[in-house]
Amino acid sequence: MSSRRRVACLLLLAATVVACDPPGGAGSSSSTTTISPLPPGVTKDGHSYRSVPEQPTGLLIALNPKSIVESPHRAVELLQTSRRNEHVDVVCGQQTVFSSVTPTGDDITELITAPEPTHPSGTQVQDAERKREETDYRNASVKAMNKVASRQSDQLTAWQKPAQDAIEHATCTSTDPTRTFADDLGQAEGFFSSLAQAHLNLGAHKAVAVLGVDGMPMTPSPGLFGKHLQGTTVVIGPFPGTWPEQAGWQAALVQGGVGRAVLLTPGAVSELPRIVTEGLRDAKVFNISADTLFALASSKLEETGKAALKPLLDYVLAHPDVEIVSNGYTDSLPVPMGNDQLSQNRAGEVRQYLIDNGVPADRIQAVGHGDHDPVAPDGPGGQPLNRRVVVVVNPIGPAN
């Protein structure tokens, strides 16, 4: 979902609050100072709403001559998931297509234009006046909150547009395919180094998205990774190699010190924006074999499965400010209910386990992907790896 569409949905939710009476009737003032839900990056501060500075993040998007012609939309899709205070560099070999080392916009504050309710309650007339004051205050609060969110969205759109235009009109000279990935890593090291010199503490909130590695026979050397790439999420898509080549690349990336290495097959490259977002938002990912959780072709959680889910449960209960997505995947072997339904049922079973053990239902989504996103070749050796439940735990709140 694009940043503008996400904000628009939240504004619609916020606007519905105005039509609701506060809990406790006309005499209650507890709801007059808080409007919920708050859009991302917005908080109430006394008699105003303001933008909250978000955790700085850094993203390098590496194109090659083929991807810049055939699939520039992949890079644009990544930009459409950007958040405030995200810093982006788009490169093709040694060539810089677009670079932004500045924040997406200034901090924003909007005052609430109505006074807080002060009229006492008691008589029918007093209660009516109090209710009018509360309604005016809620209306003004929602208006101020929405103005902050709308201005944030406008700032983000204004920041994204030059980058999108640069990508859509870019040309890239031919590069040596055996050197392209090394060049990409060198560009990323320089980019993250410049952000560090600007005193931006990115931590592990860094990602490198490599859009295409066609014609590259070499496995990356761990020696290619500088200190500023340590802990980074590296995503490559599409990766055209065989399963052994994919495993070799992944091992080399992890040995080089990256925090997470994901190589997407051509059929799974649509997952690129989601995985990059997870890396930038410091998401925690639990990848659990479905064979540990369920019997073959079943969606009933086994006792051994409950034990396997205990670390996930403990983490979620210890971190209340998170949102959770349970993703179910299957292999391609046919089952009576169909693999799409089986994967949905398994994702839902994990969701229900968390709910039954105290996790609020409104914080968890369950999504079934069927056999559409394999991580291994379709065969006896790869099918067990494709049967999995991947639970992504995303932090939420002012810092994100």
- Tens digit of pLDDT for each residue in 129-179? 888 988 999 899 899 999 988 888 888 888 888 888 888 888 877 666 666
Whole-number pLDDT of residue 221: 60
Task: Identify which has the larger pLDDT, 339 or 229.
Answer: 339
Q: What percent of the chain has pLDDT over 70?
A: 80
Whole-number pLDDT of residue 179: 64
Whole-number pLDDT of residue 29: 41
Whole-number pLDDT of residue 397: 46
How far, in Å, CA of 235 to CA of 214, rounded? 15
Instruction: State the pLDDT confidence band at 10, using cuts at 50, 70 and 90.
Output: very low
Backbone angles phi and psi of 352, in degrees to 5: -65, -35
Whole-number pLDDT of residue 247: 66
Whole-number pLDDT of residue 143: 92
Instruction: State the pLDDT confidence band at 101, using cuts at 50, 70 and 90.
Output: low
CA angle 73–347–310, rounded 5-degree value: 120
Instruction: State the pLDDT confidence band at 273, using cuts at 50, 70 and 90.
Output: confident
Least trusted range by pLDDT, from 190-199, 217-226, 369-378: 217-226
Mean pLDDT of 100-114: 77
Instruction: State the pLDDT confidence band at 311, using cuts at 50, 70 and 90.
Output: very high
* Strand pairing report for 86-92 and 57-63: parallel
Convert 145-176 into a string of H (helix), E (strand) and C (coil).
HHHHHHHHHHHHHHHHHHHHHHHHCCCCCCCC
Asked whether the predicted pLDDT for residue 26 surpasses 80, the reply is no
Task: Compute how many other C-beta atoms are within 10 angstroms of the C-beta atom of residue 50.
Answer: 19
AA identity, residue 296: L
Task: Compute how many other C-beta atoms are within 10 angstroms of the C-beta atom of residue 236.
Answer: 28
Q: Omega into 238 within 30° of 0, i.e. cis?
A: yes
Whole-number pLDDT of residue 282: 67
* Strand pairing report for 233-236 and 260-263: parallel
Give the model confidence (pLDDT) of 198-237 as tens digits. Answer: 888 888 788 999 887 755 545 566 566 678 888 788 888 8
Radius of gyration of the chain (CA): 24
Strand partners of residue 392: 285, 325
First-to-last alpha carbon distance for the chain, in angstroms, is 16
| Cβ-count burial 192-214 (b if 16+ within 10 Å, e if not) | bebbeeeebebebbbbbbbbbbe
Q: Give the distance from CA 133 to its chain's centroid.
A: 39
Whole-number pLDDT of residue 108: 87
Task: Identify which has the larger pLDDT, 187 or 257.
Answer: 187
How far, in Å, CA of 228 to CA of 191, rounded? 9
Are residues 172 and 95 in contact, defined by beta-carbon separation less than 8 angstroms?
A: yes
Whole-number pLDDT of residue 340: 93
CATH fold of the domain at 284-395: 60s Ribosomal Protein L30; Chain: A; (3.30.1330)
Mean pLDDT of 182-198: 84
HSE-CB at 30 with a 13 A cutoff on CA atoms is 5
How far, in Å, CA of 47 to CA of 55, rounded? 25
Mean of all residue pLDDT scores within the chain: 79
DSSP string, 88-152: EEEEETTEEEEEE-S-SS---EEE--SPPP-PPP-SHHHHHHHHHHHHHHHHHHHHHHHHHHHHH
Whole-number pLDDT of residue 15: 44
Are residues 221 and 211 in contact, defined by beta-carbon separation less than 8 angstroms?
A: no
> Quick one: tokens of 248?
């070799």
Mean pLDDT of 362-385: 82
The architecture (CATH level 2) of 57-105+156-280 comes to 3-Layer(aba) Sandwich (3.40)
Going from the C-alpha of 367 to that of each of 154, 308, 319, 345, the distances in angstroms are 31, 20, 22, 9
Whole-number pLDDT of residue 239: 80
HSE-CB at 45 with a 13 A cutoff on CA atoms is 13
Instruction: State the pLDDT confidence band at 306, using cuts at 50, 70 and 90.
Output: very high
pTM passes above 0.85: no
Least trusted range by pLDDT, from 62-71, 251-260, 390-399: 390-399
Whole-number pLDDT of residue 350: 96
Strand partners of residue 154: none
Strand partners of residue 96: 91
Task: Identify which has the larger pLDDT, 11 or 139.
Answer: 139
Asked whether the predicted pLDDT for residue 398 surpasses 70, the reply is no
Mean pLDDT of 270-289: 81
| Cβ-count burial 218-235 (b if 16+ within 10 Å, e if not) | eebeeebbbebbebbbbb
Instruction: State the pLDDT confidence band at 312, using cuts at 50, 70 and 90.
Output: very high
Whole-number pLDDT of residue 390: 86
For the chain, the domains span 3-52+114-154, 57-105+156-280, 284-395
Sign of CA dihedral 121, 122, 128, 131: positive
Mean pLDDT of 185-197: 86
Whole-number pLDDT of residue 216: 53
Instruction: State the pLDDT confidence band at 25, using cuts at 50, 70 and 90.
Output: very low
Give the model confidence (pLDDT) of 247-260 as tens digits. Answer: 677 767 776 777 77
